[in-house]
Structure 1
Amino acid sequence: MKQFLILLLLSASITLVNCGDDKDGDADFLAQFVGTWQSSNITAAGCNDPEENGTLNCDPFCFEITITANGTYSLLESGSQSPETGTITATETTVTICETGETNCDSQDPYSFSGENTFSITFTDEDSPGCQFTAVFNRQ
């Protein structure tokens, strides 16, 4: 289970990041993410290994991410004392994260909002072939 959480954290890091310059209008999309968010469950579906399918429930949270208006983030995995930090950008359909010190930034989509206080993001991970992960985050 710990290996799954680490794998998921790495996926989320790649999934939520972008090292590129913020394009005109992207700040408007980022504004909806500003604040502190927690995900208490992550669902995997469509995995080549059926044992990887299912939902991971975490108490009190799997991940907590704090996003600022200037495009920085701090991501804390449940049980960890050291948060990951970096930059984040958003477009109409994509969230991109770039971990501090990393040069290989990647974009991931889709994301969607359910009102102002809940968003979900779906991502893949090369270490889990076929899997589509969905994490739901709630504003704190």
Structure 2
Amino acid sequence: MKNQFSILLILSIIFFSSCSEDDENGSEFGDLPEELLGTWGSVDLTSTGCTTASDNGSCSVGCLTVTFSSGGIFTGQFYNEVIGGTVTANDNTLKLCDSSGFCNEITYSISGDLVEITWTDSIDGCTYKGVIALVGFPSELVGTWISNSASATGCDDSSDNGTCEQDCLSYTFQTTGAFNGTFANEPERTGFGYTIGSDLFLCWSGEFSCQEISYSVSGDSGSVSWEDNEDGCSYEADISKQ
């Protein structure tokens, strides 16, 4: 009887100790801070120490997009993979868990509209480090802009070099970061974007592709320039708001 009592006592201590530890661990992560709510896109991301050497490398913009919603939900895309699940946070760590229960803990540091992130993936062994920016356009860019003149130089195909007249470029930007527009003879494109300083980043819907554009605006007029990722052209254009 004494032995049975001792065993029950030990089991009780273990049980309550385990519950206490679970409560403490559970309390480490809670709701997301308000400044993280919204959609974020990567500005720079590198991977090192990967199990497969070819996975080491870097990408410039758009290889990671993620939306954090109130209620602890996240959705997004990482390279060509659709991601989603639940997210909680403590002082400097995010815990993202997918529907299968697999979780990654990401260390983060907020600086205005930029967040530095670091994590090690237990599946591919990669250590990822990068910066993400809050998606959205400043008020000075919101609206519809058209080109007054535009030129292309240094194109891979020399026949693409040249100039175009007014309206060959037309884009509409929304505060939320959504945009749509056309350029030259291309079909209309849509997507999301964000700005960092005087650089504008546009990421196309349905494509794993983003374009970095330098811009300058003053009132209803401005200029843009960019090196095209696809045709190798260097573009410059004078633009005005409609």
- After TM superposition, list the pairs within 5 Å mapping 1:80-119 onto structure 2: 83-106=188-211, 108-113=212-217, 115-119=218-222
Higher normalized contact order (CA 8 Å, seq sep 6+, divided by chain length): 1
Contact 2:180-2:189 at 8 Å conserved across structures: yes
In structure 1, what is the equivalent of residue 225 of structure 2? 122
Q: Which has the larger radius of gyration?
A: 2
C-alpha spacing 1:35/1:122, structure 2 compared with 1 (3 Å): same
Quote the Cα distance in structure 2 between the aligned partners of 1:128 and 1:51: 11
**Number of paired residues?**
118
Tell me, yes or no, if structure 1 residue 66 matches structure 2 residue 172.
Answer: yes
* 1:45 Cα deviation after fit: 3.7
Q: Secondary structure at the match of 1:30?
A: coil
C-alpha spacing 1:49/1:98, structure 2 compared with 1 (3 Å): closer
- Work out which of the residue numbers 143, 148, 169 in structure 2 matches 1:35: 143
Quote the Cα distance in structure 1 between the aligned partners of 2:205 and 2:176: 15
* Runs (5+) with no aligned partner, structure 2: 1-60, 68-111, 115-133
Measured on the aligned residues, the alpha-carbon RMSD in Å equals 3.3
Q: Deviations over 1:27-73 (max 9, x none)?
A: 78632210011113211245577765442214xx1121111111100
Contact 1:29-1:92 at 8 Å conserved across structures: no
In structure 1, what is the equivalent of residue 113 of structure 2? 24
* Runs (5+) with no aligned partner, structure 1: 1-16
In structure 2, what is the equivalent of residue 7 of structure 1? none
In structure 1, what is the equivalent of residue 237 of structure 2? 135
Contact 2:137-2:175 at 8 Å conserved across structures: no
Q: Secondary structure at the match of 1:110?
A: strand
- TM-score for the superposition, normalised by structure 2: 0.40
In structure 1, what is the equivalent of residue 152 of structure 2? 44
Structure richer in strand, relative to its length: 2
C-alpha spacing 1:21/1:111, structure 2 compared with 1 (3 Å): farther
Contact 2:144-2:170 at 8 Å conserved across structures: yes
Q: Secondary structure at the match of 2:138?
A: helix
